[in-house]
Chains A and B, each alone.
Chain A
Amino acid sequence: MASANPLAWWRGFLALPNDSPGKTIGIAFLVAFVCSLVVSITAVTLQPLQEANRFRESAAQLTGILEILGGGTPEPRLVALDTGAYAPLDPGTDSALPPERDMAGLGEREDVATVFELREGDRLAFVVLPVRGAGYQSTLKGYLALEADLNTIAALIFYEQDETPGLGARIVESAWQALWGGKQVADATGRVRIEVVRGEGAGPHQVDGISGATRTSTGVTNLLRFWLGPDGYGPYLERLGKEASG
């Protein structure tokens, strides 16, 4: 077996008795290696197509949420998240988030995000904000629609998740999503209070949790608090609010 010729070495390997430890480990490694190679190549080559499919899906969901709100054409706007100002173009860059501020478990977030504003005449009617964050075992992606006061939730939908079927995956059910309409994001002092609670929610800031899916529910709370907070759309919403009142 100690031959320099790889072919001879290979023959020697094949000639080993099948149940010798060396051959067992060798075959296990080879099978695992070849299989992982095949799976990786397939996954990487097909990823762009799958991403395109998911994007179409999310676009269809967005159309759905806009139909529920009714009226107005959605106008996509690029927003620089740090300042809240409109950005002329999306540089496609990301900023790392320090762990203590990374409530939604994202690691990093984009510098410029696309939001959708719906206007009736000159008056702002709704804003639709893409949100995402870590759930129990997958990243939850959805859209949050706020009414013109920028505090009342018009709708919250999730279009992508891979949570436990029958438990966390129920966040995509319309019965649960319907609970969000009319809830208030922040209290009178401006503190973001919206949360998913265990059991039945009470008051304008609480939404019923899904029993058996505590970590998915917490994930939803955290991602909303992140995206509505200073590292998310906070600066943008603050600016919109000032413009509307002044």
Chain B
Amino acid sequence: MSERRRILVDPILATNPLTLQVLGICSALAVTTALSTALVMSAALIFVLTLSNGIISLIRNQVPRSIRLIVQITIIASLVIVVDQVLQAYMFEMSKRLSVFVGLIVTNCIVLGRAEGFAMKNSPGAALLDGIGNGFGYALILVAIGAVRELFGAGTLLGIAVLPTEAEGGWFTPLGLMALPPSAFFLLGLAVWVVRVLRPEQAEPAPEPQSGEVPR
């Protein structure tokens, strides 16, 4: 695989920001109650991450080290405000459902992590690809969790009835747990487990017992 292709594709499974690095899970818990919110949130994050990576990489050689984090956060926050404003103008209902979580992309560890860890050291082209790759890696997990939670929590997908619920004369009893944040934790844990079974190299090595430690 060429270098460019690796930068783009690796973050989707091999170095997925959610399942390998376990970054940005706060928003993954909050916006995955339905597939539609997960999709919009993913799109917002892909936009912010790609552009912030590109812009920061573009100016990386001119940014004084002492203020680099402030500069990065300023750029990220501006992009987030733009996304939030666009949502409020064109997708008003959706922006009300996402409430503060679009604004909280500013504090999403993935965005600042990629800016400081990748964009500051690589060319704009590579940084753009890295942003798209990581954005889609985040989106993949978010959309998967959102789909499972909506399907088993409400029997619908994107608001369309898939499993006929008892309330509407069907057989399916919605799982109340799926509507609550802990279910996202369980599903995320399952996803991490599945990915690490498929790719054992991602599992962290078991800690070596320290000498002198009492065995339990």
Tell me the A residues contacting B by CB distance below 8 Å.
14, 18-20, 23-24, 27-28, 31-32, 35-36, 38-39, 42-43, 46, 49-50, 53, 56-57, 165
Residues of B within 8 A of A (CB): 59, 61-67, 70-71, 74-75, 77-78, 81-82, 85-86, 88-90, 92, 100
Beyond A31-B71, A38-B78, A38-B82, whether A46 also contacts B89 by CB under 8 A is yes
Q: A19-B64, A28-B67 are in contact. Are A53 and B75 (CB under 8 A)?
A: no
Q: A18-B65, A35-B78, A38-B78 are in contact. Are A27 and B89 (CB under 8 A)?
A: no
For residue A14, which residues in chain B have a CB less than 8 angstroms away from its CB? 62
- Which residue of B63, B65, B78, B88 is within 8 Å of A46 (Cβ)? B88
Contact A18 B88 (CB under 8 A): no
From B64, B74, B88, contact of A53 by CB (8 A): B88
Q: How far is the CB of B78 from chain A (nearest CB, A)?
A: 4
Cβ–Cβ contact A27 & B63, under 8 A: yes
For chain A, what secondary structure do more than half of its interface residues adopt (helix, strand, loop), or is it mixed?
helix
Q: Across the interface, do B67 and A39 meet the contact criterion of CB distance under 8 Å?
A: no
Instruction: Give complex CA distance A53, B92 in Å.
Output: 7
Most A C-beta atoms less than 10 A away, residue of B61, B63, B64, B78: B64
Of B66, B77, B92, which one neighbours A19 at CB under 8 angstroms?
Answer: B66
Residues in A neighbouring B81, C-beta threshold 8 A: 39, 42-43
Of all A-B residue pairs in the complex, the 4 with the closest CB atoms, nearest first, are A49-B89, A35-B78, A53-B92, A46-B89
Query: Does B62 contact A18, Cβ atoms closer than 8 Å?
Result: yes
Decide if A27 touches B67 in the complex (CB within 8 Å): yes
* 5 residue pairs A–B, Cβ–Cβ below 8 Å: A18-B63, A19-B64, A24-B66, A28-B71, A56-B92
Closest beta carbon of chain B to A226's beta carbon, Å? 29
Residues of chain B with a CB closer than 8 A to A20's CB: 64
Q: Whole-angstrom distance from the CB of B93 to the nearest CB of chain A?
A: 9
Docked CA distance A36–B74 (Å): 9
Asked whether, in the complex, the Cβ of B75 is within 8 Å of the Cβ of A43, the reply is no
* Other-chain contact of A49, B63, B74, B90 (Cβ < 8 Å): B90
A31-B74, A57-B92 given; A39·B64 CB < 8 A: no
Q: Check A46–B71 contact: CB distance below 8 A.
A: no
Contact partners of A49 in chain B: CB under 8 A: 89-90
Known: A38-B78, A57-B92. Is A27-B85 also a contact (CB below 8 A)? no
A19 nearest CB across to chain B (Å): 5
Asked if residues B78 and A19 are in contact (CB atoms below 8 Å), the reply is no
| Choice from A19, A23, A24, A35 contacting B74 with Cβ under 8 Å | A35
**Contact (Cβ within 8 A) B89 A53:** yes
Cβ contact within 8 Å between A42 and B64: no
- Bound form: Cα–Cα A49–B77 in Å: 22
Q: Least Cβ distance of A205 to chain B in Å?
A: 34
Report the bound CA distance from A120 to B62 in whole Å: 72
CB distance from A228 to the nearest CB of B (A): 30
